[in-house]
Amino acid sequence: MMDWTDRHCRFFHRLISRQTRLYTEMVTTGALLHGDVARHLDFSDVEHPLALQLGGSEPADLAACAKLALQWGYDEINLNCGCPSERVQRGAFGACLMAEAPLVADCVRAMRDAVDLPVTVKHRIGIDRVESYDFVRDFVGTVAERGGCEVFVVHARNAWLQGLSPKENRDIPPLRYGFVQRLKQDFPALTIVVNGGVVDDAQIAEQLQGVDGVMVGRQAYHHPWAMADWDARFLGAGAAAAPQREAVEAAMVDYLAGLAASGQHWPNASRHMLGLWNGTPGARVWRRIWSDHRLRADGPVAVARAASLERRGAAERLEFQVA
């Protein structure tokens, strides 16, 4: 998710779930080959397992970026064939690549030949008004057979390349989970991961009856505490103790203080944790204080102290009223 799942966001999410696989925001091949590589690829060791999501359509360029991913220590390379934005279309990658399955296969093969890392593909179930299951089945089959891809992350909506914004493309095209489940039935040896519209643990459990995995995006960003029991419930952590919100907040404040001490703009990182207390008494005032630009000069430790005091006070007042 562009401008969302940066390294600060991923550090925060890793405090909540130790085992969930995290993905970077999409990075274009041009940004890596002609820009500041370290700015795009640096990450904290705690973020593993971590996948680098690439945007591009030139096999040689993607192979070169795959080598950078290996050099930086990523665990997976994910090729984006699902983004519908006009800017991405002008670059001839993203969802429009679904119309060129042989090219996608060549891109995957080039990366697999360049590095010994898993190369996966994220895509939609179709583009524009092509709503036939055969289209996505043939896309997956071609990329798997010719490119050697073994893992497909499938957003269970079409991408309408004309007439809808990226936001509308996340809501208006209907969800067709049945297409994703049929992919698993038709390609049982492949790993099929569903994406789109999943908002709670019950839906995750339901989806896992028919596919191998579930990717959760914006729901996890806005309600990050939903991830707190995923390690134990879905990822084999057993009876491992779930984290406590206060401990996660304290660890994130320490992280922000480190950024501030090094001269970095720490509010750019604190924005990612604004949903930490969502759904609990005092969450609104806590979020308001962290968002108040007038307090930023005081530093993250002082802001955290003020936000926690106000949140607890609001919670106590509510309990008193209820009692």
48-80 pLDDT tens trace:
999 999 999 999 999 999 999 999 999 999 999
277 Cβ partners below 8 Å, 6+ apart? 225, 245, 283, 286, 287, 311
Determine the pLDDT at residue 321: 58
Higher pLDDT, 13 or 323: 13
101: part of which helix (H) or strand (E)? helix 101-114
Answer whether residue 276 shows pLDDT above 70. yes
Q: Is 121 helix (H, G, I), strand (E, B) or coil?
A: strand
Domain ranges of the chain: 7-234, 245-322
Q: Please state the rounded mean pLDDT for residues 96-107.
A: 96
CA distances from 124 to 78, 142, 196, 276 (A): 14, 15, 10, 30
Of the residues 83, 96, 107, 149, only one is catalytic, namely: 83
Assess whether 149 carries a catalytic annotation: no
* Topology of domain 7-234, CATH: TIM Barrel (3.20.20)
Answer whether residue 163 shows pLDDT above 80. no
What does the pLDDT look like over 26-50, one tens digit per residue? 999 999 999 999 999 999 999 999 9
